Amino acid sequence: MGFHGVTLTDEVQERVAAGAPTLPLASLGATGLEPGRPLKLLDRNSEVVASAIADPENGVVLVLARHALRGIDEPFFRARLETSVALRRKLGLVDGVSSYRLVNGEGDGLPGMSADVYGPYAVVCVASRGLLPYGRLLGQAVLDVAGVKGVVLKVRSKDPQDRANKDEVLGERPAAKLVVEELGVPFEVHLLGALNVGLFCDMREHRRGLGRFVAGARVLNTFAYTGALSVAAARAGAAAVTSVDLSSGVLSWARENFRLSGLPTDDPRFRFEVSDVRRFMEKARGAGETYDTVILDPPTVSAARASQWSMKKDYPDLIALAARLLSREGGFLWCSANSRKGPGVLDHVRDGLRRSGRSGAILEVGGLPPDFPTPADWPESRYLEVCQIRVG
């Protein structure tokens, strides 16, 4: 498709000049744009102020450059990839075995798109089906520039377990189960099928730092998923680690991650509990159980029939319950939040501690690692917040 010209209002042009990587489609006054249509955004004098792509499935326009592009083609994506790879190489991540974010949307000049490397393979994800042709171009550039064997192409869905969109594979097809490394720690990933592959690269530095708070401690990891934080705690010398998740399937996966690290899953120090997190914590409190560290890494929302959950509505009460599970002498809370879709983690923590009747001190607040760059003039991109709290 060729470029389609759209004249911007002064207000929208100011937003582009201020660095906005996405614009509401409705603000352009353009209707009937095909998904993926290349756009030239024009000022009142018909001069090009930006080049973009229409994404009507998400109701936005994705700004790729604040000048005229000759084409959104293979050379364009290759040039962007060379810059992205150079940064990750400088960070020491490009080694053929590690896992990391290679393209972080607008932070790497490609809003609506991402690429994650898992050892010898990569996963490219686009925000809608209309962006698939660009995802294929990005995937080919990843093959050519990043030195991977194969690329799995996925379409982002509101449901992370949605399998309606079949994966496309460029190059060599990965095995259904693959073992990769993070900071030398082995983890099993499943690159084919669901959008979530079993290891979130944005948590790497937080897993690295967890050991400072868990050595010799009794640790409860809630919403444990495939147990990456539980593995980090066990490897750091935790006295006991209990992993709780509603899904028996992901906890079996967590057991395998323990085994890969040489941690015996039949050891009574390591428990894997299939349960709704809130019910498990209430039952533990009723039984008089206490922990030294409680990890809260919940999803933003969950529509699971057995466990309806909304971070915005339910998180403070859960933090209060976790604080009450700590011993009377005190302990640590490790809390994460997606601030893009609700209050920041410190707002949740303040509210939760107030409800618990316990005092707390913030020890550390962190966010995304350096392979997740975000535009300095677009703070909405910095979605992850993690904090550690000493509870008195």
Listing DSSP states for 67-82 in one string gives: S--S-SSHHHHHHHHH
d(CA 319, CA 343): 14
- Residue 9, both tokens: 């209002």
Instruction: Give, in order, the Cα–Cα distances in Å from 316 to each of 98, 211, 312, 336, 337.
Output: 35, 25, 8, 12, 11
What one-character DSSP code corresponds to residue 34?
P
The three-state secondary structure class of 17 is helix
- The DSSP H or E segment spanning 361 is strand 360-366
From residue 386, give the alpha-carbon distance in Å to each of 219, 242, 367: 17, 20, 6
Which is nearest to 77 in space by CA: 95, 64, 90? 64
Q: What string of DSSP letters covers 312-357?
A: HHHHHHHHHHHHHHB-TT-EEEEEEEEGGGSS-HHHHHHHHHHHHT
The pLDDT tens digits along the chain (392 residues) read 789 999 999 999 999 999 999 999 999 988 889 999 999 999 999 999 999 999 999 999 999 999 999 999 999 999 999 999 999 999 999 998 999 999 999 999 999 999 999 999 999 999 999 999 999 999 999 999 999 999 999 998 655 555 556 789 999 999 999 999 999 999 999 999 889 999 999 999 999 999 999 999 999 999 999 999 999 999 999 999 999 999 999 999 999 999 999 999 999 999 999 999 999 999 999 999 999 999 999 988 675 655 667 788 899 999 999 999 999 999 999 999 988 767 899 999 999 999 999 999 999 999 999 999 999 999 989 999 999 999 99
Identity of residue 303: A
Contact 61, 39 (CB under 8 A): yes
Tokens of 305: 């029939």
Residues in the chain: 392
Which contiguous run of DSSP H or E holds residue 311?
helix 311-325
Question: What string of DSSP letters covers 285-299?
Answer: HHTT--BSEEEE---
The contacts of residue 199 (CB under 8 Å, 6+ apart) are: 99, 118, 180, 182, 187, 189, 226, 228
144, containing H or E segment: helix 132-146
The model carries a pTM of 0.93
**Whose CA is closest to 353, among 310, 383, 325, 319?**
319
Please state, in angstroms and rounded to a whole number, the distance separating the CA atoms of residues 147 and 187: 21
